[in-house]
Amino acid sequence: MTDPVNNAFEHLSRLLPRPADVEPKAWDVVQHQLGTDLPSDYKTFIDTYGGGYVDTYLWVLEPGCANEFYDLIHADEERAEANQQLWDGGEKKPAELEGTDARLIPWASTDNGEFLYWLARPGKDPDEWTVMVNEARGPWWEHLDMGFTQFLAAALSGDIRSEILSDSFPTDPHTFVPSADFV
């Protein structure tokens, strides 16, 4: 039996150049700050790559980033507040959130202002969380029935195409610049 998450990470590792030295995160501390566990494939990615800039467009957020704009904890607080203000002001919530205690946790942003989130549903293991993409400065949402690594590998290989993300993403060849290079 094949493991789609491990296969996706292996595929992603072939597509995306790895940086040199990356310090593993203290995940217990991070998860305590967020109030939830996180998907294991994301933790593996961050412990392997760190947060960073993919194909000069997509910023993978990381906990503890020295630049608060690319810090997972800061982004989670900021996006939760911003989204709540929008919904309280009359913007329609994504259908996937209506009538549930589901939570959106941002894991990436783009140069254009789009955000990519996990749809964290109560009772769902974080490894089963799926991806939501929100357009910049607007109410359009996409729900993709796949996890972090599966989405990133499929987006970089061209196997899927988000209608929201830029047509110039991905690039060829792929690039990855660690967030540490920008602080």
Predicted confidence (pLDDT) per residue in 72-96, tens digit? 999 999 999 999 999 999 999 999 9
Is 67 exposed, middle or buried, given 0-12, 13-18 or 19+ CB atoms closer than 10 A?
Answer: middle
Mean pLDDT of 136-163: 95
Radius of gyration of the chain (CA): 16
pLDDT score, position 29? 96
Which tens digit of pLDDT belongs to each residue from 113-143? Answer: 999 999 999 999 999 999 999 999 889 999 9
Q: Is the pLDDT of residue 2 over 60?
A: no
Domain span holding position 135: 4-182
CA distances from 108 to 89, 98, 100, 105, 161 (A): 24, 23, 23, 9, 16
Q: Is the pLDDT of residue 20 over 90?
A: no
Residue with tokens 């359009």: 140
Percent of the chain with pLDDT over 70: 97
Confidence of residue 99 (pLDDT cuts 50, 70, 90): confident
pLDDT score, position 4? 64
Mean pLDDT of 55-84: 95
Q: Report the chain's mean pLDDT, rounded to a whole number.
A: 93
Q: Is the pLDDT of residue 24 over 60?
A: yes
Mean pLDDT of 165-170: 95
- Please give the tally of structural domains in the chain: 1
Please tell me which residue, 148 or 180, carries the higher pLDDT value: 148
Phi, psi of 42 (to 5 degrees): -65, -45
pLDDT score, position 150? 95
Is 101 exposed, middle or buried, given 0-12, 13-18 or 19+ CB atoms closer than 10 A?
Answer: exposed
Best-predicted range by mean pLDDT (3-17, 90-104, 118-132): 118-132
Mean pLDDT of 47-54: 95
pLDDT score, position 7? 82
CATH number at residue 144: 3.40.1580.10
